[in-house]
Structure 1
Amino acid sequence: MIQLVKNFTVTTAVAVLSVSAASAGTVLKLNAGAIDTTKISNNYAASWMMEAQPTEYIVQFKKAITEADKAKLKAQFEVFGYLPDDALVVRSTYAQLISYKNSNAEVQAVVKYSPAYKVSRDFDAASVFNKDVLESVVVKTFKASETEQVAAKIAALNPQVELQVVDGKSILALIPRGSVVAVAAVSGVEHVQPNPQFESLHFAMDEDITGTVVATAAGDYTDLKGDETGTRVMKFDAAWSQGFTGRGQTVSMADTGLDSGNIATIHQDFAGQVISGYPFGLWSKTWDDPMGHGTHVAGSVMGNGKASRGLLKGGAYDANMVAEGMWSPMLKNLSVPSKLGDLFAKAYADGARVHTNSWGGARTFGAYDAFAIQVDEWTAANPDMLVLFAAGNSGADKNKDGRIDANSMASPGTAKNVLTVGASENKTTSGGIQVPISKLRAAKDEWPAEPIYSDYISNNENGVAMFSSRGPTVDGRIKPDIVAPGTNILSVRAQTNGASELWGAYNKDYAWSGGTSMATPLTAGAVAIARQVLIEKHGIQNPSAALMKATMIHTAVDMYPGQFGEIGASRGQELLTRRPNSDEGYGRVDVSNIVNIGAETKLIDNRQGVAQGAEVVYEFTLAQTGSLYANLVWTDVAGSANAAQALVNDLDLVLTMPNGQTISMNDHINNLEMIEKSGLPAGTYKLAVKGNKIPQGKNGAQAYALVFTAK
């Protein structure tokens, strides 16, 4: 039994100084390297004293930054974002900032924001051989209002520079490799990185398989067993039987488009449910789907199954959709807009509160880059839309130890605030790719060792697909957040001429495919169900993205030890630890658990949040030996692409037991925290959400969602 005694009650308001003094800022943690600011003197860069024009500097404090610190700085200077530890980016002259430091004892150091700090590590090393080679780059500016001016300065640096797109705080340009540092030196430039090549994240099997691959099918639905869509493994039927079908929910999809791109002539599985569509592809005037990927994705979200007499439905088959097509007829590929907020804003204006994206850049693994930052900026400003991204399909066993290697996450799935989805295995033998992994042409290079080599890709629902990208991110955050079936998924086939059959046609209306591309829309359907449940069953109107994410994570199923059992790492055990881990995240989506959330589970959507140095305490009582599972999620402000740590506002989740002992993950990297503990003795417990460091809070506080079950 659980009794919630205190709700949204701040029981302890500790002075901020006493909380933060133990972790005073003395090191700047940048991707370019750690800087020990205790070794910096006021005169170590005397040449900067002569600068007449204001430019960007880093002002580090001796303690966690307070609202008073920020207010004092903003009264005199232009202040931008946060850098770890305990530092803000400020525009001024060095002389003025040193004067400020000398009169404010809380300031630790003033450091020039060097061009070297702003250049991504993903560039190839500069040399005499490549200095004149033109490279496509993304330049991120501090202020959108200055972007045109900054672009003009960049163009003036070198006659070879070609500006391509200037939009928002982003500049896409072709510049000589040797000019990258000079571009970074322009005042107003925050970050320079290579321009990623985005791609749809279905796992491309074309021309990659030996032998017979696509299982033969009747095509008349008589051979269907019910597991083909992936919804059975996810237990969607438990929701459907209770009337939770996505009714009243609107999901948006940005992809290659949707079928005909015309609401009046759309495939019958979408008829009456697509409320709007928009073209975003370069030189495109329509949101149709010449490729077929987006149509398959949409079918998994909310296809109503009319063509199959209701047999092949998406997860939220009564939901509405806002379709966004990013296919470029000129490039014959995806062309993702440079300003990602345009995608989200269009959908948001049409009522979407779930946005699914089965694409990403698969070359700068794990990077918290300019595009991940754009997503976090938009979601922080619009905290009631949950954005989903596919994790990527770059999973491989390059070291041949029988386990998939770490560190292959695609951006923007590296963003903090999104729900990043990896692919687990569907369990089906009726169609799609039904051969051992060893039959894939890439197997000897990508998955050459047992037990993966001879495995099948859809034979164990507790397995993670071998191609699914693994975390962690470069800064150590756990990704993916969650997994869902992404192998041999049967969904709607685009009716446009020349559209791909993907992993093979079932008939004229449906096709097979696989990838984190397929896992992500199935999860989006589950999120739509979760949002409907939160509103209709639990009375939480307009739930935050943090609460939706916390609900998805809280109800997921831990797949430990994975499909090969507890055989040990040396023999290829798939999951070495229980959740969370960077193979499965917090586990596989389970819709039955979502719709059956009971009174023993508390769903807390705290919009006011917790202040730095304060805590909000929830008390509960266990009448007998029991367990606790708690998940804390918050929508963080965007970090910096130049920082070695993406987290800005840091909360802690701490359990105090009846004997006074405390339990916590002590996590200062992720914007998710968890406590999962069984065998708890009877007694009264305190579960506290604490504000550790909140340098960029709203009105000095950080909103959060907390879902916990004590029983």
Structure 2
Amino acid sequence: MLRRKRCQIITITFIMLTVFWNAPISAKQPGERVGSIPIESKKELAIDLVEAEKSKSELVIIQFTGPIREEWKEQTEDWGALLGDYIPDYAFIAKLADKKAKKKIEKLPYVERVVPFQPVTKVAPSLRSSLGKNRNVDVAVIGFDHQVNMQRTVRELVPDEELADMQTIEDTSHITIATLNAQSLEEVILSEDVIAVIPVPENKLHNDRASALTQSSTLLSTGYSGKGQLIGIADTGLDTGDAASMHPDFLGQIKSLYAWGRRGDASDRHGHGTHIAGTLVGTGEASDGIYKGLAPDAELVFHSIQDRYGALFIDVETFLSQSYADGARIHSDSWGADDYGEYSLTSFLFDRFLWQHPDMTALIAAGNTGYDGFQTVGSPATAKNAIAVGASENDRPDWGDWSDDPDQIWQYSSSGLTADGRLKPDIVAPGTAILSTRSSLAPNKNFDRRFDEFYAYMSGSSMATPVVAAGIAQIRQFLIEHGHDEPSSALQKAMLLTGADDLGEDMRRQGFGRANFLNAIETNFVDEKKGMRTKERRTYAIKVEDTTKPFVITLAWTDYPASLVANRTLVNDLNLQVTTPTGEKRNGNDFFEAPFDDEVDNLNNVEQVWIGKPDAGVYEVIVEGYNIPKGPQAYALATTGAWVQVEQEEPDDVIIGELNKKQKFADNWIRVSKPGKLKASVDWVGEADVDLYVYDLQKNAIASAKRTDHPEEVTVKLQKAGFYKIRVVLDEGDEAHFRLSISYPGK
């Protein structure tokens, strides 16, 4: 079984769906988006932790008191901890040098708790039923140390006769795939070198009118044809697989063609891969230029991955790496698992590669199981850093009511949210009755309809994905020709989502809207590659003059890959806040019910402010690094408004808090990297008196402010680097809501 699946062990068959489903959508209020989407998860440890009073394990969870500071990580490691995967909120899986290290670390003022990481926690819930039962399961074993070869570790734990088909993913040595029985599974999870054992996903394969609906044809007519762009595809094959007898629309379009599913044979006996490739780069040669792709001047790097059994030989790391090495910076993938919003191994592998190659954009089909309702989006479209594409209807009224309204979402298109509450798909594009190139080796039954010898119709989110991938090629060509070398994937995503047409559909179905590539290149944008760390913030100003169309600004970032044992996937958390010319506050993704500033998104790595009826004037925009445990974090902004110059100042640390009779003081620790001047100021609301103190690490008060006026302020010259404590004290009164600002040398 494992041998047929090979490296990624993913069995794939294409299913044409024929059932209609009408999803209910809520009434849209003026200035709001449609949907019911919580964006603020409860702050808790996002792991199925089994606590025990005693444990012999070296593995623990170290949870900090709040957003992760770099100096906290450094001090914790100095005192005997080796930090591994990040776990929301504010925690790491760690190995301790000895029991003394645990006691030292527990006493650190910014450490909330240190608890054992029990073996049963390592096993995905769907596999726990296999423990103690006499049956084999296909699993991925995840190691603590990303530099250690997990295959060697598993071989030491499991008898050789059980490991004939064990595989290690290329360039990801800490992940090994194996078939284990119950006893071997238990041995593996007891290892101190293993942090997770998860199932291997089983996946399925998930244009002439589409170009007009997305404004791609408008860009094409002005010269944005994908020139100079290379697009990677991993799919069933490409027509005959032989350049000498290839479909006329691909002559001169193929830079690289790899035969992985059937060695030496890159042909397409299904038709899926050829159809997708035509939507991307088909020249229309066989139709005198009538039925061409959306980016006909781009080229392909194609991996033919269907084997002789109909399965796909999918190796994410290999086909992404080879495509990137050949020059591709866009990858279109129209396959995925029907695993209902799960963040799977393939999701992780996409996120890992895209984090390491931030100029690579991956687009993945959301899936075709929308008839099951919400939370049907499949992996790897659940990857944070990929663009997940759903399908809207095409404009072909003669095809019936499933392709007659381009402003409707196709009934089969898979919907969000993901299992951990993130918004996917990101975008939709026409996916029904798409006319594109036909493989000469594919049977007619594999198509909706055959058009002629060279072209055929197909439908699905599979067909919508290359529409958007071609649009990204046009956007990327535009950026490069305007002097933006190596534009980030985050920038292209931000432009795409800012320019999208809102269809008035539930955002769980439409994402941020239907792709509009002309709107995308007309946005104004910032590609901030320097990045930021916890507590840093940057301020921008945007002028809005046209009040007849929505004001939109989108913040996007390529996030660090999630731990496969965590229940939530966001690692680095940035926040977007906009203040309108009238002083109204708007938080990113707080769309759905006024006020629009009472929720802060801690789930998604895309945040948007969307105002349907904006006021004219200047909008203040703040990007804050709320919690960045794996930084620095780069990001991109795109907006429909115009940038205005604003002076940037080095921000103070700002802490908001509350004091009362039960909690009469609040402590905040800082690490000063060099001698210099420390300034602290506290203001408050309430009938109370608040005092301010500064202590060194030996608990000596080195400065204080104990007046009765607002605000309390201290300035002290620090003689040496080190840790200092700023204490805010309720001296009189019942309660006080305070705002503490701190500046110090070497932040």
Q: Report TM bin, short chain.
A: 0.7 to 0.9
The change in CA–CA distance for 1:175 and 1:88 in structure 2 (over 3 A counts) is same
Distance 2:615 2:210 in 1: 40
**Corresponding residue for 2:31?**
none
Q: How does 1:73-88 map to 2 (within 5 A)?
A: 73-75=76-78, 76-88=80-92
Counterpart selection for 2:143 from 127, 141, 144:
141
* Stretches of structure 1 lacking an aligned partner (at least 5 in a row): 1-22, 202-226, 398-404, 436-455, 561-574
- AA aligned to 1:520 is T
Counterpart selection for 2:364 from 389, 398, 401:
389
Retained in 1: the 8 A contact 2:81–2:97? no
SS, match of residue 418 in structure 2:
coil
Distance 1:166 1:702 in 2: 29
TM-superposed CA distance for 1:278, in Å, is 1.6
Provide, for residues 289-311 of structure 1, a one-character-per-residue CA deviation record: whole Å limited to 9, x for no partner.
22221111101111111001111
Q: How does 1:134-533 map to 2 (within 5 A)?
A: 134-142=136-144, 143-156=146-159, 160=162, 163-167=165-169, 168=172, 169-177=174-182, 179-201=184-206, 228=208, 230-281=210-261, 284-329=263-308, 331-337=309-315, 340-362=316-338, 364-397=339-372, 405-429=373-397, 434=399, 456-496=401-441, 501-533=446-478
1:650 aligns with 2:573: yes
Of 511-520 and 58-67, the range deviating more from structure 2: 58-67
SS, match of residue 80 in structure 1:
strand
**Corresponding residue for 1:670?**
604
SS, match of residue 583 in structure 1:
helix
Distance 2:221 2:434 in 1: 22
Provide, for residues 461-505 of structure 1, a one-character-per-residue CA deviation record: whole Å limited to 9, x for no partner.
011111111110001000000001111111111123668642232
Distance 1:424 1:589 in 2: 10
Distance 1:290 1:426 in 2: 26
Provide, for residues 71-125 of structure 1, a one-character-per-residue CA deviation record: whole Å limited to 9, x for no partner.
2334444322200111112223561441331452322222222222222223373
Distance 1:533 1:359 in 2: 28
Retained in 1: the 8 A contact 2:232–2:332? yes
Provide, for residues 610-661 of structure 1, a one-character-per-residue CA deviation record: whole Å limited to 9, x for no partner.
3321211111344686752100000000111221210010111111234544
Of 544-553 and 159-168, the range deviating more from structure 2: 159-168
Q: How does 1:681-692 map to 2 (within 5 A)?
A: 681-692=615-626
Counterpart selection for 2:535 from 593, 609, 613:
613
The change in CA–CA distance for 1:258 and 1:24 in structure 2 (over 3 A counts) is closer
Distance 2:143 2:445 in 1: 39
TM-score between the two structures when normalised by the length of structure 2: 0.74
TM-superposed CA distance for 1:238, in Å, is 0.6
- AA aligned to 1:352 is A
Distance 1:548 1:59 in 2: 36
SS, match of residue 424 in structure 2:
coil
Provide, for residues 103-160 of structure 1, a one-character-per-residue CA deviation record: whole Å limited to 9, x for no partner.
52322222222222222223373487xx11222222222325321222213423x965
Distance 1:164 1:47 in 2: 31
- AA aligned to 2:64 is F
Provide, for residues 254-297 of structure 1, a one-character-per-residue CA deviation record: whole Å limited to 9, x for no partner.
1112122233432110111100112332x533333222211111
Distance 2:253 2:55 in 1: 64
Distance 1:464 1:24 in 2: 28
Larger Rg, first or second structure (1 or 2): 2
SS, match of residue 393 in structure 1:
coil
Distance 1:497 1:587 in 2: 34
- AA aligned to 2:177 is L
The change in CA–CA distance for 1:618 and 1:248 in structure 2 (over 3 A counts) is same
The change in CA–CA distance for 1:234 and 1:607 in structure 2 (over 3 A counts) is same
Retained in 2: the 8 A contact 1:26–1:62? no
TM-superposed CA distance for 1:609, in Å, is 2.0
Distance 1:345 1:503 in 2: 34
Distance 1:638 1:613 in 2: 21
Retained in 2: the 8 A contact 1:489–1:518? yes
**Corresponding residue for 2:491?**
547
Q: Percent identity?
A: 33
- AA aligned to 1:231 is S
TM-score between the two structures when normalised by the length of structure 1: 0.78
Of 231-240 and 625-634, the range deviating more from structure 2: 625-634
- AA aligned to 2:345 is A
The change in CA–CA distance for 1:127 and 1:602 in structure 2 (over 3 A counts) is closer
Retained in 2: the 8 A contact 1:230–1:426? yes
The change in CA–CA distance for 1:182 and 1:500 in structure 2 (over 3 A counts) is farther
Of 375-384 and 227-236, the range deviating more from structure 2: 227-236
Q: How does 1:76-115 map to 2 (within 5 A)?
A: 76-93=80-97, 95-115=99-119
Distance 1:116 1:316 in 2: 50
Provide, for residues 655-700 of structure 1, a one-character-per-residue CA deviation record: whole Å limited to 9, x for no partner.
1234544211321100000111144444433111111111110xxx
Retained in 1: the 8 A contact 2:163–2:178? yes
Retained in 1: the 8 A contact 2:141–2:150? no
**Corresponding residue for 1:453?**
none
Bigger RCO (CA 8 Å, 6+ sep): 1
Distance 1:520 1:622 in 2: 32
Distance 2:547 2:455 in 1: 51
Distance 2:641 2:518 in 1: 19
SS, match of residue 158 in structure 2:
helix
Distance 1:105 1:24 in 2: 25
**Corresponding residue for 2:44?**
27
Retained in 1: the 8 A contact 2:131–2:185? no
Provide, for residues 546-588 of structure 1, a one-character-per-residue CA deviation record: whole Å limited to 9, x for no partner.
001111111111111xxxxxxxxxxxxxx34xxxx11000111
Retained in 2: the 8 A contact 1:119–1:180? no
Distance 1:102 1:74 in 2: 13
1:703 aligns with 2:634: yes
- AA aligned to 2:560 is V
* Stretches of structure 2 lacking an aligned partner (at least 5 in a row): 1-39, 591-599, 643-747
TM-superposed CA distance for 1:368, in Å, is 1.1
Distance 1:483 1:162 in 2: 43
The change in CA–CA distance for 1:487 and 1:498 in structure 2 (over 3 A counts) is closer
Of 177-186 and 471-480, the range deviating more from structure 2: 177-186
TM-superposed CA distance for 1:24, in Å, is 14
- AA aligned to 2:500 is A
Retained in 1: the 8 A contact 2:151–2:167? no
- The number of aligned residues is 586
**Corresponding residue for 2:53?**
45
Retained in 2: the 8 A contact 1:24–1:62? no
- AA aligned to 2:417 is P
SS, match of residue 410 in structure 2:
coil
**Corresponding residue for 1:400?**
none
